[in-house]
Structure 1
Amino acid sequence: MKGLKKKRRVQIIVLAFVALAISGALIGYAFQDGINFFRSPSQVAEAPPAPNEVFRLGGLVSEGSLERGEVIRFSVTDGGATVPVTYRGILPDLFEENQGMIGTGSLVDGVFVATEILAKHDESYMPKEVVDALKEQGVYQPPES
């Protein structure tokens, strides 16, 4: 009787570990496409990501770089480096030059091809990642109250 209880207990523990390993693997597989790392233009210039890697690029839209058309072209800067961006789609209403933005996409031949563009939503908002990147470059200026 004692041997049967011990055997059953070992089976339950092994089954629990197997279930935990399978659930961990499934969670990791599900997050594989859902995690997009943020990079500033300086980080992209220093170590360009692989062409098939999806990531988020953030910074300020360079003044005089915005060209509207079928393909929208502009440059994003953090004060240390500038990355050219292309985007097909409708830009957010508040998207403009010298304002903070974050785009999701990939780097193709040195140009960031964006699939999604997010812009600031009021006059003092800037995404935290962009603020941190600008502070690292020493060009961050807090909004005036």
Structure 2
Amino acid sequence: MTGAIKPKHQRLVLLVLALVALIAAGLLAAWALRNQASYFYLPSEIVAEPPEQDRAVRLGGMVEAGSIVTAADGMTISFIVGDGEARVPVTFTGIVPALFVEGSGVVAEGSMGANGTFLASNLLAKHDENYMPRELEGMTTEEVRANVEGTLE
């Protein structure tokens, strides 16, 4: 008898090795991304169970009317994000998106500070459902439809 493995057993060993490699790759990817995940919170969720400090999270809600205050440096703003149940103070330093206004939706990326203020590193302003590109403003519904259909041809 020779010590060679039968072809049937070779395929089985290769299949097992491929499965082990696939599982190892998945576990390695999950381990590498464990701190990169950015969780999304509503203000009521942050108030109920605040995330640990310096953990990257996203806070989404509505910018409360009358809450935007610009600091003396002109680059730092403070505002309140609410969801009808809770309110979270937010501070952001940087260039504010053009669509960022009171009463609009916002997603702030950042982390919770020691004093309960959300420290935003990035702001994503949401437009309302009535958004209209500049190119189509002032057109009637029929003109818009014709314009859109013309681009599809």
- TM-score scaled by structure 1? 0.75
Pick closer, same or farther for the CA change 1:77–1:124 going to 2, 3 Å.
farther
- Structure number with the bigger relative contact order (C-alpha 8 A, sep ≥ 6) is 1
Q: Do structure 1's residue 120 and structure 2's residue 126 form an aligned pair?
A: yes
Aligned residues: 125
What are the superposed Cα offsets for residues 81-118 of structure 1, whole Å, 9 maximum, x if unpaired?
A: 10000111101011111111111111112110111101
Q: State the partner residue of 1:56.
A: 58
Q: State the partner residue of 1:79.
A: 84
Superposition deviation, residue 11 in structure 1: 2.0
**Separation in 2 of the partners of 1:92 and 1:77?**
19
- Greater gyration radius: 2
Q: State the partner residue of 1:135.
A: none
Pick closer, same or farther for the CA change 1:14–1:123 going to 2, 3 Å.
closer
Gapped runs of 5+ residues in structure 1? 126-145
**Separation in 1 of the partners of 2:12 and 2:98?**
61
From 86, 89, 94, the counterpart of 1:89: 94
Secondary structure at 1:9's aligned position in 2? helix
Gapped runs of 5+ residues in structure 2? 132-153
From 82, 98, 105, the counterpart of 1:100: 105
- TM-score scaled by structure 2? 0.72
Identity over aligned pairs, percent: 42
Regions of 4+ moved over 3 Å: 122-125
**RMSD over aligned Cα atoms:** 2.1
**Separation in 2 of the partners of 1:111 and 1:31?**
26
Superposition deviation, residue 75 in structure 1: 0.8
Secondary structure at 1:35's aligned position in 2? coil
**Separation in 2 of the partners of 1:123 and 1:17?**
47
